[in-house]
A and B are shown apart, each in its own frame.
Chain A
Amino acid sequence: MIRMSSSAIALFIFVGAAGCGIGDAQTNLRSAVDAKRQELNQCYAAALTRDRDASGTMQAYLYVDSEEGRLTEVEFVGGDVSDPAFQSCMSGSLTQVQLSEPPVANLKVEYTFQLTPEG
């Protein structure tokens, strides 16, 4: 019998996904998120006025709709900062993200945001 590990199967799926444009969509999404950095920084600046020690990481799932190519939802799933107003500000900014091309499938992408105070 030939044994096949789960990671190898995942690799095949990933290769298949990459082959049909999912990888491009992920790259597009990252570019679009990076373009929102200034707004995200402003959200963070406001969070620091509420808690000047707010820092660390935040994990979130970003959901992208395949029909419109739009980021429709941000689901925060963990991290060091639990400020609801900050999360709302981040969501408000990110859900304006529009990909240049709709992906071939809906996307659920796990992101980590590294929050670093300056000064």
Chain B
Amino acid sequence: MRATVSIVTVLASLSMSACSMTTAILHEDSPVQVAAARPAGPEPEPPSRVTMEAERIRVDEKIHFETASADISSDSDSLLREIAQVMNDNAHVRKVRIEGHTDNQGAARYNLDLSRRRARAVVARLVENGVAAERLEAAGYGLRRPVETNDTDAGRAANRRVEFNITEQDEAAADEQTSGGAQ
């Protein structure tokens, strides 16, 4: 009985002391919810438009020129930088022939000259973009090498083109690059 009274007295004083304690240490059970929108991630890399193949550089977008001119349109600037980058990433390719082609609209002589000037303009731009001039040569074939019919708009558009054909390369390095999946 005496022990019980003592314990109750102690507990009562403990309870009372809670009011006069210097610092009450407590715990908040329910977490504070903090939320915010995750920022958008970086823009995904655009798919490559330029691929190094065994015998050519495949370019999946046309190089645009001003009409009846060898002036390269500004919308092709980034494409030409990409082509230059791929060439510089593939040092085993020692020489590439830049070939200009036209459709059959207009005089053959005019087209031949235009295709040559356009090929030279592409070479000049690649050199500006850091490709060694000795790795490049320009050739124009005019309307002589169509890849599609010239009887349709789509066919003529396909025939107006610039090709990048590899004429010299380190074959052993090329095999290694191909098996390694290089661009």
Pairwise interchain contact B14-A106, C-beta atoms closer than 8 A: no
Residues in B neighbouring A47, C-beta threshold 8 A: 36
Count how many pairs of residues, one from A and one from B, have CB atoms less than 8 Å apart in the complex.
Answer: 125
Interface size on B, residues (CB 8 A): 30
Within 8 A of B (CB), among A1-30: 1-2, 4, 9, 12-17, 19-22, 26, 29-30
Contacts A4-B7, A37-B34 given; does A52 touch B15 at CB 8 Å: no
Pairwise interchain contact B36-A52, C-beta atoms closer than 8 A: no
Pairwise interchain contact B28-A108, C-beta atoms closer than 8 A: no
Interface size on A, residues (CB 8 A): 48
Q: Pick from B7, B23, B28, B39: contact of A111, CB below 8 A.
A: B28
Having A45-B36, A103-B24, A117-B35, one finds 19 other A-B pairs with CB under 8 Å, namely A9-B14, A12-B14, A15-B15, A16-B17, A20-B18, A21-B19, A22-B24, A26-B28, A29-B28, A30-B28, A37-B33, A52-B38, A108-B25, A109-B28, A110-B26, A115-B35, A116-B33, A118-B37, A119-B38
Can you sample 17 A-B contacts with CB below 8 Å?
Answer: A9-B14, A16-B17, A19-B18, A19-B19, A26-B26, A26-B28, A29-B28, A30-B28, A47-B36, A48-B38, A105-B18, A105-B24, A106-B23, A108-B24, A108-B26, A111-B28, A115-B34
